């Protein structure tokens, strides 16, 4: 027997494996040449499939993400305005007689805004009902079998109710503005009224966009043939609507109690 | 497969003009963004040459440049260069051209949103051009539009309708940028191919990802600030108009009772403005890492750390806005905090430089044109970066604020480094830009490219290095006249005249060098021979033959999958390399 042992083939020909180098992080990455974790990761292995066929909710989640990122941007928009609110509330000046003057005169909230808030919260309930009705499996299955459009038919009234409630809220805000105008409180009156009209106006503009989205969703219930498209429309508008309701609650508390 | 919602990249089938204009194809949109940036950069460069020539030879009658018409040139130059060139080209242009393929996908996650973003951006450019043509006068408040003057529409010729259009243009640009940022984020989150884990994403993708996050956070704050400013201008509010704001003998701001604060605008604007400059530079940083590694045939030194520093630069970038306001009357405590956080950015930035140097250290790189531009990026980033901590010192900034020192600093680190990143990307990805029907297009000519690089490199340093000296001597920014001034200031300016004259000559040389690039572009588009499938022996997915623009999507072929991190080279000189998409099985077969 020779004294030396020839190493077996595998060891002698040991090539550098693709995963055999480190990133400089000190830790060797695991050997994972069949690591199948695509963009998905919902635990159902949809990520194993090529894009475009990663499960029934692939497009839905994309559009939801679009709405959520968009809402993050809107949140930053309102955060900037709210921080300006606090800055201006605490700013002041000395007049010619060296008197300390703060121009901020708290704006009294017209009582109708309480009612508007209730209407907006109610609209959140109606749109949530509409949203859930778009996703009920029994009805989705019925539609898949070609038995009409039960999901859309059942969601439509609630969606329409949300449009009505949304318009009611916007009208209510307009009435509140008019009530303030009657009391000679205008946007240019003083720092507090600047912010009252700006915040209600900016929120109303966003809600107006939401009403437009609702109308588009209503149209899509009739115009779109794919159930998926209708689900995406209603679902995205619903999330946007909920968030506008939530933002309004915060803005309302700010205007009502932090003046 | 509905073609309108799920377009394939680069399909060149003959379609009606309108359908081709309203395409949602990310490849076409990327080219459209690059063309938009090219038009903008030509306008912006022309304006900067106007300024330099007027400063040095005021007797040359280019057109009547009075103080009131010099500032609009500064304003439009800054706005167009920062927004429409340095933000659109790296982030939106190359993001559209390359990002989906680098993730292993054939389409963007939200093609319609993406196209909408482009059209809003194009509209913003038109509105900006319109703003400079209004009869009442072009906007002249600089790209920062500080109140109280900008908050009073009747303050002067440049603050009227021109200013309104300028604000509208920037607001539109912000909306477009936000939409395309959301598309980028969703594509990266949901569109990655099999095996493309977060730690295998190329650093370019990390750059686009971080810049998109910053866009999302920053532009909406800018929108809020613009809303407040427009209210001040037209609805009689006084968010930014201080009490007793006397302009042209008229009291402004809610009848003189305002309590508004111009400082508030500075806070809101720079909360956006500082991240904005990182949006411009982060994609270039990622690209530089990848290019240096590819041409040095090395892995990127400290890959994970590079990912972390990219995110850290983004995070610190939104915490340092106050360093633009050291002389604006901040509290000394706030100044200290902003100074410290600003100096802290030097840590991740130095880590990046260290990684770039370590990646190429004692390698034998192929000095191709994209590699040269990437090295130029490193050089300019270091030179421009070194003056950053200097300006971050409140004491030094007291002296240097609004001098040419600042001009030199941000032109080197943001404008020149950013443009070098764009050039590196253009030379590197040109076959992808011009690809058709699944075949790569031609490469830009190397020889002409090298001439272009060296001329640009020398021109950039010759133009902007002397500005440091001018700034240290006290030469102020934004002044339309540096000659013919009486008294001490005149003596100072007279002594600096040779320096300024040199800067102008260098700027003319720098601009003229770009004609080499345009010549190269035209020549290659006319006579260039198609490049090889993977001309740079790259390892990232954009060179995958099935992912080239217009490549047919075969039924039943193996789906695109990723098997390893990028930059995998074997052998001393990296002769062999394994692209991300090559499986181990094919690797073993190749090595037999």
Fold of B17-591: Cytochrome C Oxidase; Chain A (1.20.210)
The whole-angstrom distance between A2's CA and the closest CA on chain B is 30
Q: Say which of A23, A36, A70 has its CB closest to residue B304.
A: A23
Provide the 3-class DSSP secondary structure of residue A93. strand
CA-nearest residue to A187 within chain B is B237
Q: Which of A19, A62, A188 sits opposite B190 (nearest CB)?
A: A62
Q: Do A66 and B231 touch (CB under 8 A)?
A: no
Helical axes B161-190 vs B94-103, angle rounded to 10°? 10
Whole-angstrom CA distances from B34 to B27, B47, B426, B524, B548 are 11, 20, 10, 17, 18
Contacts A247 to B, Cβ<8 Å: none
Per DSSP, the three-state class of B147 is coil
* Token output for A259: 């003046």
Q: Is B246 on the interface with A (CB under 8 A)?
A: no
Check: CB of residue B477 under 8 Å from CB of residue B401: no
- Tell me which DSSP letter residue B541 carries: G
* Close Cβ partners of B555 (under 8 Å, ≥ 6 residues apart): none
Give the gyration radius of chain A's Cα atoms.
29
CA distance B120 to B109: 19
- In a domain, residue A165? The reply is yes
pLDDT per position as a tens digit, A13-72: 344 454 444 444 444 444 444 444 444 444 445 555 556 666 667 889 999 999 999 999
Is the CB of residue B189 less than 8 Å from the CB of residue B182? no
Q: What is the pLDDT of residue B2?
A: 36
- Quick check: B433 pLDDT over 70? yes
Is B583 in the A-facing interface, judged by CB distances under 8 Å?
yes
Read off the pLDDT of each residue in B503-519 and give the average, rounded to a whole number: 97
User: Residue A215 sits in which domain range?
Assistant: 58-257
The model's pTM is 0.90
CA B453 from centre of chain: 19
Residue B577: its H or E element: strand B576-577
Lowest mean pLDDT among A24-38, B453-467, B565-579: A24-38
Residue B255 burial by Cβ neighbours in a 10 Å radius (0-12, 13-18, 19+): exposed
Quick one: which H or E segment has residue B570? strand B569-570
User: CB distance B235–A187 less than 8 Å?
Assistant: yes
A95: domain CATH number is 1.20.120.80
Q: List the domain boundaries for chain B.
A: 17-591
How many angstroms away from the CA of B368 is the closest CA of chain A? 26
Cα separation, A152 vs A230, whole angstroms: 8
Q: Phi and psi dihedrals of B333, rounded to 5?
A: -70, -45
pLDDT for A50:
59
Residue B449 CA to residue B446 CA, distance in Å, equals 5
Residue B504's φ and ψ, nearest 5 degrees, are -65, -45
Neighbouring CB atoms inside 10 A of B256's CB total: 14
What pLDDT is attached to residue A57? 79
Distance from CA of B384 to the nearest CA of A (A): 28
The reply to whether A83 falls in a domain is yes
> For chain B, first and last CA: distance in Å?
41
Tell the burial category of B448 from Cβ atoms under 10 Å away from its Cβ (0-12, 13-18, 19+). Answer: middle
The residue to which tokens 């520093």 are assigned: B309
User: Tens digits of per-residue pLDDT, B222-265?
Assistant: 999 999 999 999 998 889 988 877 787 777 755 555 788 899 99
Q: Do A87 and B264 touch (CB under 8 A)?
A: yes
Both tokens assigned to B22:
């309203």
Residue of B nearest to A94 (CA): B243
Contact: B216, A61; criterion CB under 8 Å: no
pLDDT of residue A40: 43
**Assigned token pair, A181:** 């105008």
Q: Which structure tokens are listed for B543?
A: 């060179």
pLDDT one-digit tens code per residue, B18-27: 777 788 899 9
CA separation for the pair B400, B470 (Å, rounded): 11
Instruction: Closest CB to B110: pick one of A66, A104, A198.
Output: A66
**Residue B414 DSSP one-character state:** I
With beta carbons less than 8 A apart as the criterion, state whether B259 and B242 touch.
yes
Contacts of A66 in chain B (CB under 8 A): 110, 113, 182-183, 186
CA angle A92, A93, A96 (to 5 degrees): 155
Contacts of B261 in chain A (CB under 8 A): 87-88, 91
- In whole angstroms, give the CA distance from residue A67 to residue A59: 13
Residue A50, domain member (yes or no): no
Min Cα separation B175/chain A (Å): 10
Look at residue A142 in the predicted model and tell me its pLDDT: 86
Residues B103-152 pLDDT 10s: 988 889 999 999 999 999 999 999 999 998 888 788 988 899 998 889 88
ipTM of the complex, rounded to two decimals = 0.92
Report if residue A33 sits inside a domain. no
Cα A29 versus chain centre, distance: 37
Beta bridge partners of B194: B561
What would the pLDDT profile of B333-391 be if each residue is shown by its tens digit? Answer: 999 999 999 999 999 999 999 999 999 998 889 999 999 999 999 999 999 999 999 99
Range from A42-56, B295-309, B451-465 carrying the lowest mean pLDDT: A42-56
Cβ contact (<8 Å) for A73 and B220? Answer: yes
* Confidence at residue B438, expressed as pLDDT on a 0 to 100 scale: 84
Residue B351: burial class (beta carbons within 10 Å; 0-12, 13-18, 19+)? middle
Q: Is B220 on the interface with A (CB under 8 A)?
A: yes
- E strand residue ranges, B463-565: none
CA B66 to chain centre: 30
List, in sequence order, every residue forming a beta bridge with B460; answer none if it has no partner: none
Give the closest residue to B330 by CA, choosing from B397, B386, B389: B397
**Interface probe with A: pick from B4, B195, B216, most Cβ of A within 10 Å:** B195
**Which of B179, B258, B577 to substitute to test the interface with A, most A CBs within 10 Å?**
B258
Lowest mean pLDDT among B2-16, B103-117, B530-544: B2-16
Largest Cα span, chain A: 111
| Number of domains chain A is built from | 1
CA dihedral B452→B529→B540→B193, nearest 10 degrees, is 130
């Amino acid at each position: 027997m020779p004294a030396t042992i020839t190493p077996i083939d595998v060891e002698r020909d040991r090539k550098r494996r693709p995963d055999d180098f480190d990133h400089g992080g000190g830790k060797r990455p695991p050997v994972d040449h069949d690591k199948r974790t695509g963009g998905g990761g919902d635990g159902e292995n949809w990520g194993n499939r090529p894009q475009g066929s990663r499960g029934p909710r692939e497009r839905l989640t994309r559009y939801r993400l679009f709405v959520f990122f968009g809402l993050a941007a809107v949140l930053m928009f309102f955060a900037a305005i709210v921080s300006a609110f606090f800055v201006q509330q605490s700013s002041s000046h000395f007049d010619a007689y060296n008197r300390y003057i703060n121009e901020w005169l708290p704006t009294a909230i017209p009582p109708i805004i309480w009612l508007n808030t209730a209407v907006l919260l109610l609209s959140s309930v109606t749109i949530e009902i509409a949203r859930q009705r778009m996703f009920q499996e029994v009805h989705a299955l019925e539609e898949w079998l070609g038995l009409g459009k039960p999901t859309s038919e059942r969601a439509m009234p609630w969606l329409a109710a949300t449009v009505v409630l949304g318009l009611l809220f916007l009208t209510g805000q307009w009435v509140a503005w008019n009530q303030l105008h009657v009391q000679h409180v205008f946007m240019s009156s003083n720092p507090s009224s600047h912010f009252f009209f700006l915040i209600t106006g900016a929120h109303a503009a966003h809600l107006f966009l939401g009403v437009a989205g609702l109308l588009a969703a209503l149209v899509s219930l009739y115009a779109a043939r794919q159930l998926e498209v209708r689900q995406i429309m209603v679902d995205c508008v619903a999330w946007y609507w909920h968030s506008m309701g939530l933002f309004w609650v915060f803005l309302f508390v700010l205007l009502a109690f932090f003046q | 497969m509905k073609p309108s919602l799920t377009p394939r990249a680069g399909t060149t089938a003959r379609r009606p003009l309108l359908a081709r204009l309203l395409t949602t194809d990310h490849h076409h949109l990327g080219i459209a963004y690059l063309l938009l940036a090219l038009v903008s950069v030509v306008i912006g460069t022309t304006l900067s040459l106007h300024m330099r020539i007027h400063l040095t030879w005021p007797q040359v009658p280019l057109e009547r440049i009075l103080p009131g018409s010099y500032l609009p040139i500064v304003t439009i130059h800054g706005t167009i260069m920062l927004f429409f060139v340095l933000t659109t080209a790296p982030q939106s242009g190359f993001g559209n051209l390359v990002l989906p393929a680098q993730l292993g996908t054939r389409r963007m996650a939200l093609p319609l949103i993406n196209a909408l973003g482009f059209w809003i951006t194009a509209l913003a450019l038109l509105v900006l051009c319109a703003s400079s043509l209004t009869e009442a006068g072009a906007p002249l408040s600089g790209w920062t539009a500080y109140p109280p003057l900008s908050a009073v529409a009747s303050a002067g010729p440049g603050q009227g309708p021109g200013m309104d259009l300028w604000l509208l243009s920037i607001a539109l640009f912000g909306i477009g940028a936000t939409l395309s940022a959301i598309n980028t984020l969703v594509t990266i989150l949901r569109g990655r191919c099999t095996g493309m884990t977060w730690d295998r994403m190329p650093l370019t993708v990390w750059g686009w990802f971080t810049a998109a996050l910053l866009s999302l956070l920053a532009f909406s704050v800018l929108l809020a600030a613009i809303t407040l400013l427009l209210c001040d201008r037209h609805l009689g509010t006084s968010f930014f108009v201080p009490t007793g704001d006397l302009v042209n003998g008229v009291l402004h701001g809610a009848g003189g009772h305002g309590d508004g604060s111009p400082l508030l605008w500075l806070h809101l604007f720079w909360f956006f403005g500082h991240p904005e400059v990182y949006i411009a530079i982060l994609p270039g940083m990622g690209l530089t890492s990848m290019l240096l590694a590819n041409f040095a045939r090395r892995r990127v030194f400290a890959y994970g750390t590079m990912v972390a520093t990219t995110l850290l630069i983004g995070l610190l970038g939104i915490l340092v806005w106050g360093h633009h306001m050291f002389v604006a009357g901040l509290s000394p405590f706030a100044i200290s905090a902003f100074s410290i956080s600003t100096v802290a950015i030097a840590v991740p930035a130095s880590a990046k430089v260290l990684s770039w140097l370590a990646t190429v250290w004692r390698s034998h790189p192929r000095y191709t044109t994209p590699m040269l531009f990437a090295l130029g990026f490193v050089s300019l980033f270091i030179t421009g970066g070194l003056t950053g901590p200097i300006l971050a010192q409140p004491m030094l900034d007291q002296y240097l604020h609004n001098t040419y020192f600042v001009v030199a600093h941000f032109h080197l680190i943001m404008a020149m480094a950013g443009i070098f990143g764009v050039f590196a990307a253009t030379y590197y990805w040109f076959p992808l830009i011009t690809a058709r029907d699944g075949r790569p297009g031609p490469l830009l000519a190397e020889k002409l490219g090298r001439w272009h690089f060296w001329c640009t490199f020398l021109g950039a340093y010759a133009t902007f290095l002397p500005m440091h000296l001018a700034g240290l001597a006290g030469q102020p920014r934004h002044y339309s006249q540096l000659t013919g001034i009486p008294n001490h200031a005149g003596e100072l300016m007279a002594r600096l005249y040779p320096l300024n004259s040199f800067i102008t000559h260098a700027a003319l040389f720098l601009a003229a060098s770009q004609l080499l690039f345009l010549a190269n572009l035209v020549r290659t588009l006319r006579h260039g021979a198609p490049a090889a499938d993977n001309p740079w022996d790259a390892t990232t997915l954009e060179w995958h033959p099935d992912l080239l623009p217009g490549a047919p999507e075969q039924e039943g072929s193996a789906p695109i999958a990723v098997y390893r991190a990028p930059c995998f080279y074997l052998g001393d000189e990296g002769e062999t390399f394994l692209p991300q998409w090559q499986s181990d099985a094919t690797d073993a077969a190749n090595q037999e």
